[in-house]
Amino acid sequence: MGKKKGTDPPALQKYGVPLYSAAWLPLQFRHEDHDSSKQHEQDKDREEITHASASSYEYYVILAGGGGEGRSGIPNAVLLSRFDFSSNSLSPQPVAKLNLGSDLPYRMVVHPGGDGLICALPNSCRFFEWDEVEDNEDHKLGLKSSEKVLTQLEDVGQQLALVFNSDSSVLAVGGEDGNLRVFKWPSMEIIFNEAQAHASLKDLCFSPDGKFLVSLGGRGPGRVWDVTSSMAVASLSKENDEIFASCRFSQISDQTQVLYVAAITDKGSSIVTWNASSWKRVSSKHVFREPVSSFNISPDGKFLAIGTAQGDVMLINSTNMCIQTMIRKAHLGIVTALTFSHDSRALVSASMDSSARVTLVEDKKCAGGGSSLRIIIFIIIMAIVVYFLKNEGVLPFLG
């Protein structure tokens, strides 16, 4: 029997607010505890969790969005939802919700080490911490405003890109006004401040080793920054009226890093690959006929994820750039965010239609692999048939 029409899968839930950002709770999330014995036990538990199976560890998805400053009645909030691998389901209701009043959390970055998260609000950025509430001996996870004030990011206008490097020691922030700011974390000591990095800054990503930072603007070329020298060391040029939408690095071997840029072209979506040593363009692969609206790469580097303005979500094999999984109309609105879980086993997508969806990542053959194999088999069979017909004299003109 087919799926009942109009029934959403349990991995797709609507939360009542347009969503602009999505992330996973870091595995190494830590609670502040001044009791050294309890802290020791927590450290031990975290070590055990790291080696536990996905089914024995609770996964949480963090979502941010809202209705903005108007009187639409739609709240602005950061939500926390639980994902269950065993049933492939998101909690129908958030397990925690932090209302932000009239401030829309348009962008969000989660601290990789578990300190908390930063939201980009209309005119500033604010830091939030994890909160553990005891309720009848049950520990519930939540969020709370932090006493740590990001003074350097107050009254700076709307920030469109927020990113930490892999060891959480550096924070980069890019604004709608094109200003690029890079700070040491958690001291917030400025490393460099480039006022005109782009006309408007759209995306940022650090290289896995933290040495380089790539920034993308609106319609101009991308730029590569050496974090230590605070200098731009390369320019990522465009071809054939491409619009660079998003960028991500991947470590493909101990010595080799590559940069992927999702680009919008007149044919739809393309993935451009760059050598992260010479900064030369390696290849460009057209992957879909619709323009990309969100992009990410799995931590293990095996898969790229693309979301579209039509609500489609697809997983692409990074080795051969073929579509491995396609979910048409995964959402009813534009896909605004995509993030893989820390173990690369799941992908969360968020949309302006107020929905979040988790897609399990299956290591299977590309969608086109089966048809290619059938074509090869067909050709071999036809060759055998022609050979025998020729030998029997049925096809004398081939003699």
For residue range 301-321, list pLDDT tens digits in order.
Answer: 999 999 999 999 999 999 999
- Least confident window among 127-141, 142-156, 235-249, 279-293: 127-141
- 21 contact partners, CB below 8 Å, separation of at least 6: 62, 63, 64, 65, 105, 106, 107, 108, 119, 336, 337, 350
pLDDT tens track for 143-172: 999 999 999 999 999 999 999 999 999 999
- The pLDDT value given to residue 394: 58
- The pLDDT value given to residue 12: 98
Contact 176, 159 (CB under 8 A): yes
Q: Is 97 within the bounds of a domain?
A: yes
Q: Is 256 within the bounds of a domain?
A: yes
| pLDDT of residue 399 exceeding 60 | no
| pLDDT of residue 377 exceeding 90 | no
Q: Is 309 within the bounds of a domain?
A: yes
| pLDDT of residue 387 exceeding 60 | yes
- Residue that has been written with the tokens 């347009």 in this structure: 18
| pLDDT of residue 111 exceeding 90 | yes
Q: How confident is the model at residue 28 (pLDDT cuts 50, 70, 90)?
A: low
| pLDDT of residue 43 exceeding 70 | no
In the numeric block, which tokens belong to residue 197?
């990095």
Q: Alpha helices, DSSP H only, in the chain? A: 36-50, 369-391
Cα–Cα distance between 143 and 34 in angstroms, integer?
19
Is pLDDT larger for residue 52 or for residue 327? 327
Q: How confident is the model at residue 391 (pLDDT cuts 50, 70, 90)?
A: low
- The pLDDT value given to residue 141: 87
- Residue that has been written with the tokens 């990522």 in this structure: 236
The rounded radius of gyration (Å) of the Cα atoms in the chain is 24
Q: How confident is the model at residue 70 (pLDDT cuts 50, 70, 90)?
A: confident
Q: Is 398 within the bounds of a domain?
A: no
CB atoms < 10 A from the CB of 138, how many?
Answer: 7
- The pLDDT value given to residue 371: 47
Q: How confident is the model at residue 370 (pLDDT cuts 50, 70, 90)?
A: very low
- The pLDDT value given to residue 188: 98
Is pLDDT larger for residue 380 or for residue 183? 183
pLDDT tens track for 257-296: 999 999 999 999 999 999 999 999 999 999 999 999 999 9
Contact 170, 113 (CB under 8 A): no
Q: State the Cα angle at 225 between 219 and 229, rounded to 5°.
A: 150
Residue 315 belongs to what domain range? 12-28+56-391
In the numeric block, which tokens belong to residue 153?
């990011």
Q: How many domains does the chain have?
A: 1
- 8 contact partners, CB below 8 Å, separation of at least 6: none
Q: Is 239 within the bounds of a domain?
A: yes
Beta bridge partner(s), residue 203: 216
Cα–Cα distance between 62 and 83 in angstroms, integer?
11
- The pLDDT value given to residue 190: 98
- 254 contact partners, CB below 8 Å, separation of at least 6: none
Q: Is 244 within the bounds of a domain?
A: yes
Cα–Cα distance between 99 and 84 in angstroms, integer?
25
CA 282, 288, 289, 293: dihedral to nearest 10 degrees? -90
CATH code of residue 365: 2.130.10.10
| pLDDT of residue 45 exceeding 80 | no
- 38-47, 62-71, 196-205, range with greatest mean pLDDT: 196-205
Specify the amino acid at residue 101.
Answer: G
Q: Is 104 within the bounds of a domain?
A: yes
Cα–Cα distance between 149 and 147 in angstroms, integer?
6
Backbone angles phi, psi at 311, to 5 degrees: 95, 5
The average confidence (pLDDT) of the chain is 87
| pLDDT of residue 220 exceeding 60 | yes
Q: Is 67 within the bounds of a domain?
A: yes
Cα–Cα distance between 399 and 393 in angstroms, integer?
8
Which three-class secondary structure state does DSSP give residue 301?
coil
- The pLDDT value given to residue 38: 41
In the numeric block, which tokens belong to residue 188?
């917030």
Contact 311, 327 (CB under 8 A): no
CB atoms < 10 A from the CB of 252, how many?
Answer: 15
Is pLDDT larger for residue 331 or for residue 376? 331
Spatial CA neighbour of 144 closest among 61, 49, 32? 32
- Residue that has been written with the tokens 């680009």 in this structure: 263
In the numeric block, which tokens belong to residue 30?
């830590």
- The pLDDT value given to residue 254: 78
- Residue that has been written with the tokens 């969100």 in this structure: 294
- Percent of the chain residues topping a pLDDT of 90: 74
